[in-house]
Amino acid sequence: MLEESSINNTAVDEWLPWGGITRPAVMEQKDHSYFSVISYLPWDRNIFPDNVTFPEFCRGWGLWSERQHTLDGDNNFIVLFWNPFTEKNKSYVENTLGERIAKDATLDYFEQEAQKFTKQIRQVTVARLLTYQEIMDFLSFSLSMGDNRVEMPEDSSCMDVLLSQDIKFRFDANDIYINDKRVLIVTLPGLTEPNMLFDKFAKIPFRYVRRLLMFNQDEARKDLNKYAGHWCSGRKTMLKRIEQDILGNINGYYYNGFIFHVPSNEYENFRLYVTN
């Protein structure tokens, strides 16, 4: 019956990608991509051991860091994400961090990479993988800023429904309301450092998120050529100058911003405070 497969556009869970926690520290999403969440303590980035190396990520991998702030303090997280690219006529996956693997080995492989990545972070600071309830709490905060905590059930599937079912969502023409609070998103330019802003926003809960979808250098160059191929036609010198700040040490798509839930009667004053 086609009706059984139809999408309810007004149901929030239809648009959440979360599937189930299939390993203690791994969330498997509806599209069979994976992510793990690592809790860490901030460190002085001017002090970085020379012998610490991280993987050369490629297309299909992503990282995002998140600070979840409440009036009681801050929690800091790094999320490792992987979408294993598979083709119907192939029995293996190629976008790994090493040798290709069989299609049916992706979950085991990602779990191992998440554990390895956590160990690498431990070389510079205190870090650990979140499991079960801790993952639930991390995701719950991302929806309601901690207003709707959900207990881990025996069946760890259908996280999209479980985490959103008791939250009140409202969608207006240009605004989103969650539990009758208006969502305000402040996007920062490029790699702007937000440290001075944390104190400015200390009296209101927020999420500060930086996301990076990875390419390796060859993939980044190919994607840029496709995107900017018609720029500065016949003026290669000008094009080269424009591109020199696009391709650098980080290859990928980048996002950097704050997310707030503001009571309606405080929204306009807070918006003016932020923009000024």
Phi and psi at 139, nearest 5°, equal -70, -35
User: How many Cβ atoms from other residues are within 10 Å of residue 262's Cβ?
Assistant: 20
Q: Which residues are CB-contacts of 151 (< 8 A; sequence separation ≥ 6)?
A: 133, 136
Most confident of 37-46, 138-147, 167-176, 266-275: 138-147
Rounded to two decimals, the pTM is 0.84
Return the exposure string of 210-242: e unless at least 16 CB atoms fall within 10 Å of the residue's CB, then b.
Answer: bbbbbbbeebbeebeeeeeeeeeeeeeeeeeee
Q: Is the pLDDT of residue 98 over 60?
A: yes
Tell me which of 141-145, 150-154, 210-214, 241-245 is least confident: 241-245
Q: What is the average pLDDT across 219-236? A: 70
Q: Is the pLDDT of residue 1 over 50?
A: no
Average pLDDT, the chain: 86
Q: Is the pLDDT of residue 10 over 70?
A: no
More confident residue, 231 or 16: 16
Around 49, how many Cα atoms within 13 Å sit in the side-chain half-sphere?
A: 10
Report d(CA 184, CA 274) in Å as an integer. Answer: 10
Return the exposure string of 51-78: e unless at least 16 CB atoms fall within 10 Å of the residue's CB, then b.
Answer: eeeeeebbbbbbbbbbbbbeeeeeebbb
Most confident of 59-63, 136-140, 157-161, 212-216: 136-140
Spatial CA neighbour of 79 closest among 95, 68, 71: 68
- Helix ranges (DSSP H) in 49-158: 106-121, 132-144
